[in-house]
Structure 1
Amino acid sequence: MLSKKTFLFLSILILFIIAAVIYFQSRNDPNYELPFEIAAPPPGAINAKDHGAYGDGKKDDTQAISEAISTANKLGGGTVYFDNGTYIVSKKINVPKNVSLYGANSENTTITRQDGEDQEIFSLSGNQTVQNLSIISNIGINILGDNISIHQTKFRCVLQAIQMFNKTSGLIIKQAEFTESGYGILSNNEASNNVRILDSKFHNILYDGIEINTPSDNWIIENCIFDNNISKSEWAGFGVGVAKKAKNITIKNSKFTNIIGQAVHVEDYAEVWVIGSVFENNGGVKYKGSPTADIAVLSNGVVTIKNSLFNESSADYSDLAIYNTDLPVGGHAYVTNSTFNNKRISKTVNHEQNNFLNE
């Protein structure tokens, strides 16, 4: 006979387990909507409308937003707050260090640039947060400094949502949504180190969800969803692309579905770990020199895959789970403790303790 205290403990434990199962099942649903909450202004925040911003989707708010940012900067740092509304910007706004940008809610607080210029809305200098905004432009945010956090923000940017061309460190992106954007996140030119991309969604991407095209170090991409890549370029179409000797790149507990190129593309001596991730319906178009597969390892790339699931593909997508280029310019692919449902791997892939389920 269980005591009342033991019974109560077991009841709470069972409820917790049920709730956790429901949560993680929903996170793997491509239709799952990330939670975006209405946020009150942080204490001491400077309201952009107090500096003359309209947020009516008609008048140009560039000058008012710049003045609010300048006021925060003169105070040694602070937060500029945007009430619900649509704020029109007509040129790039440089945001100094220690000045953060908060919106009321990313569903209803939009910053948009409509002049057609291929230039970002905000350049961020470091030690700051962007949260609860919706960014619509050709290019969204340019990362110039270190220790920047982007939370609960939505992007729809034709070319690049988040651009990283300068050497940076300590970027955290959490609960962000990238929809109908060219590149969701692009690291190009100089290395970007110590980056965390967590609990985010990449949907209907036009080029690559994430492209690391620099010798960057120490990225974690965790609990992310990549679905419905619709690229028409033969040089793009990846969920995550990694090259240029990038190392310590880890993809964990993420899901890739309906990616027209490869879900994960690794080349040029880059080193990637894939852990606990799910792949289904990837590799829909074959480009010259680039195979159809869930994961492709090319030109001396190194990929280690553990505890992952490769589900059967429909007729429009590849039945090849892992492609590894042949020597002498071959990649190095290792897979363990993973399950393949009517999927195959290249003969050059090193594998052990896997489960191949073939009907």
Structure 2
Amino acid sequence: MIKRLIFSAVFFCVFGYALAAVYNVKDYGAKGDGKQIDSPYINDAIEAAVKNGGGTVFLPAGTYLSYSVRMKSNITLHLDAGCVLLAAYPEEANGYDIAEDNEHNKFQDFGHSHWRNSLIWGIGLENIAIVGQGRIDGRGLTREESRLPGVGNKAVSFKLCKNVIIKDIQMVNCGHFALLATGVDNMTLNNVWVDTNRDGFDIDCCRNVRISDCSVNSPWDDAIVLKSSYALGFFRDTENITITNCFVSGYDKGSVIDGTFERYEPQAPDQGYVTGRIKLGTESSGGFRNITISNCVFERCRGLALETVDGGLLEDIVIDNITMRDIVNAPIFLRLGSRMRSPKGTAIGKMRRITISNVNVYNADSRYSCIISGIPDQCIEDVSFNNIRILYKGGGTKKDAQLDPPENENLYPEPWMFGTIPASGFFIRHVRNIELNNVQISFQNPDFRPSLWLKNAQGVRLFNYRAKIEAGVKPYTLKDGVEGFKMEMSDISE
């Protein structure tokens, strides 16, 4: 006991946390030898802390082979430097907690609908934290949406919790999700390193979330993705979110956290191309409101994507100071669709009041250009692009310029849903009140498509729009329903 109190005092001096009881998992039977299943003893330490009103459950250096760790309110799980919480492979008699029933499964993927089948999970909790300089390794988790009992597919999942902190830890090989947070209020993610084989952070139906100074490498899925599903059984907006000072990428799994930044794996499971981006959507039964994304770097990944296709409102979004390099599809993709993976009677959503500024893109795939596309019965409204510079690969042909992409209103939203785009700069369809201010488009190789392609577009205005056009190529294509198109002080020329 004396040793434990001394440790608590030292812990307070070093980390600045309030002096509170510290529960060392080794005092409860954990070995940290990478052989014994230690999760029962970690859970015993958590329960002991709960009986005394909470505290810090401390994992010293070592490898803790584990199944499900069940978080409780007023608990801080501290992974010390040199600590690895290692997800064990499930066996016939042992495994992760069984996924709970959810009658609303059909409205989102299986992985979004369950929380207990995880390495660390909590439901209905408050005042919880995962901190320290240790590592969570999800080696024994599946990256598929397995329904088999005892199989785990998430590193960390929280549902209907509040006051959550995840700070300073590393997360690798995290199954389907490194973090699934659903219906969580007041959450901070700071200085977290993720290098994983599917999604990094899935922030679903959450409010008041701060994501800062994080690095997320996820070649086979999204790095940081905001969602608004129907997994809770009711509509709930994702709102009041900031994402700042983050790095997202699609390098080979494990090669960012080890510093090699390898590029041998070119494909993701869906339609090829590495992923690794920041995205709003795809699950979008609820809405997205009051969100800022700033000072972020995208590298070797897909571009920025804002999508609402299941009925949610996507509005009041500000994106600023973004740099992108080696982008494998549309650098900017705004999609309002009508997939409507929501309860019957849900109305088509809206996308409006979006500002995207100070974006620099180098070496982007030219097949998709930038896409802003609503649907015939619902326009994207009130979007401004300011100080945008994009260097595309180029290579578009005169034949490509004759294409008229299908609407595909009900499809999963990705740039490939339209095929090759007939514009080299911006494809703009079913919109109202769009401004492009101080935009520069250039190419590494000749591109024989017009810079702009517009259809059913009211009030599109260009000011100081500059783009290189090959000889004999018209600068823009105006299809049916274009009204109020204006260009001022712009230069679209050879």
TM class, shorter-chain normalised? 0.7 to 0.9
1:53 to 15, 30, 46: 30
Cα distance in 2 between the residues matched to 1:234 and 1:329: 27
Cα distance in 2 between the residues matched to 1:140 and 1:207: 15
Aligned to 1:158: 175
* Counterpart contact for 1:120–1:142, Cα < 8 Å: yes
- Note the alpha carbon deviations across 1:121-151, whole angstroms, 9 max, x for none: 1123220211123112231111131001000
Q: Structure 2 matches for 1:188-227, cutoff 5 A?
A: 188=204, 191-214=205-228, 215-227=237-249
Cα distance in 2 between the residues matched to 1:274 and 1:201: 18
Inter-CA distance 297–308: structure 2 relative to 1 (3 Å threshold): farther
How far residue 55 of structure 1 moved from its aligned partner, in angstroms, is 0.8
Aligned to 1:305: 355
Residues 1:131 and 2:131 aligned together: yes
Cα distance in 1 between the residues matched to 2:131 and 2:221: 25
* Counterpart contact for 1:101–1:129, Cα < 8 Å: yes
**Structure 2 counterpart SS, 1:277:** strand
How far residue 333 of structure 1 moved from its aligned partner, in angstroms, is 6.2
Cα distance in 1 between the residues matched to 2:300 and 2:352: 24
* Counterpart contact for 1:41–1:81, Cα < 8 Å: no
**Structure 2 counterpart SS, 1:54:** coil
Report the count of equivalent residues. Answer: 306
AA at the equivalent of 2:85? I
Cα distance in 2 between the residues matched to 1:66 and 1:308: 48
Cα distance in 2 between the residues matched to 1:210 and 1:62: 28
How far residue 352 of structure 1 moved from its aligned partner, in angstroms, is 4.0
Residues 1:109 and 2:123 aligned together: no
Aligned to 1:270: 314
* TM-score where L is the length of structure 1: 0.76
Q: Structure 2 matches for 1:17-36, cutoff 5 A?
A: none
Inter-CA distance 347–187: structure 2 relative to 1 (3 Å threshold): closer
Aligned to 1:93: 69
Q: Percent identity between the aligned chains?
A: 18
2:269 to 219, 232, 251: 232
* Counterpart contact for 2:218–2:276, Cα < 8 Å: no
More deviation in 300-309 or 57-66?
300-309
* Counterpart contact for 1:178–1:205, Cα < 8 Å: no
Cα distance in 1 between the residues matched to 2:380 and 2:280: 13
Inter-CA distance 131–154: structure 2 relative to 1 (3 Å threshold): same
Inter-CA distance 333–257: structure 2 relative to 1 (3 Å threshold): farther
Inter-CA distance 325–83: structure 2 relative to 1 (3 Å threshold): same
AA at the equivalent of 1:121? L
Aligned to 1:4: none
How far residue 237 of structure 1 moved from its aligned partner, in angstroms, is 3.6
How large is the Cα RMSD of the aligned pairs? Answer: 2.7
Residues 1:342 and 2:426 aligned together: no
Aligned to 1:351: 435
Unaligned runs of 5+ in 1: 1-38, 285-291
Unaligned runs of 5+ in 2: 1-13, 97-116, 142-153, 229-236, 252-266, 338-349, 393-424, 443-467, 469-494
AA at the equivalent of 2:65? I
Residues 1:74 and 2:90 aligned together: no
How far residue 264 of structure 1 moved from its aligned partner, in angstroms, is 2.2
How far residue 69 of structure 1 moved from its aligned partner, in angstroms, is 0.9
**Structure 2 counterpart SS, 1:67:** helix
AA at the equivalent of 1:147? N
Cα distance in 1 between the residues matched to 2:379 and 2:268: 26
Cα distance in 2 between the residues matched to 1:238 and 1:296: 17
Cα distance in 1 between the residues matched to 2:197 and 2:371: 27
Inter-CA distance 305–320: structure 2 relative to 1 (3 Å threshold): farther
**Structure 1 counterpart SS, 2:43:** helix
2:184 to 149, 162, 168: 168
- Note the alpha carbon deviations across 1:102-138, whole angstroms, 9 max, x for none: 1212xx2111222246721112322021112311223
Aligned to 1:258: 300
- Note the alpha carbon deviations across 1:74-122, whole angstroms, 9 max, x for none: 11110011111110113x22211001111212xx211122224672111
Larger radius of gyration: 2
**Structure 2 counterpart SS, 1:253:** strand
* TM-score where L is the length of structure 2: 0.57
